Structure 1
Amino acid sequence: MAQYRVLFAKEIMGVPFAVGTVEISRARNAERAERAAALRFARSHGVEDWRERADRMELTPLPDREA
């Protein structure tokens, strides 16, 4: 399973400012990682939808960690 880092940012006057990041340690694909990160971000900020706190979501695959 792949690992991802998801950055959430608020855009002000065209400039993105990071609001938070979420690391997903195991996801079948990028879509599932985005959904999991969106839920985790929203819950941690006490909102129903991540878009209430951020305008952008950027997903970055992380290299596999070898045990």
Structure 2
Amino acid sequence: MSQYRVMFAKQILGVPFTVGTVEITRARDPERAVRAATLRFARQHGVEDWRERADVAEVDGAARAL
């Protein structure tokens, strides 16, 4: 199990602006960390889907658009 930081960004004219960060303390791999972070991010912002607030979820410097 590893620790991950997932950053959420909104892209405006191709430039990402960070709108939030979620720390995942235990995940088997980066994909599971992103899944857990997207759920937590949506819950924190009171929305059904995290994409209502962000365009990109990035983990450890590798962009993962979901």
Bin the TM-score by the shorter chain. 0.7 to 0.9
Equivalenced residues, count: 61
**Which one has the largest radius of gyration?**
1
Of structures 1 and 2, the one scoring higher in RCO (CA 8 A, sep 6+) is 1
* Cα shift at 1:11: 0.3
Residue 8 in structure 1 maps to residue 8 in structure 2:
yes
**Structure 1 runs (4+) greater than 4 angstroms displaced:** none
Can you give the 5+ residue segments of structure 2 that lack an aligned partner in the other structure?
62-66
Residue 52 in structure 1 maps to residue 56 in structure 2:
no
- Secondary structure of 1:48's partner? coil
TM-score by length of 1: 0.86
* Cα shift at 1:42: 0.2
Tell me how large the CA RMSD over aligned residues is: 1.1
Give the % identical residues: 74
Looking at structure 1, the residues matched to 34 and 16 of structure 2 have their Cα atoms a distance apart, in angstroms, of 19
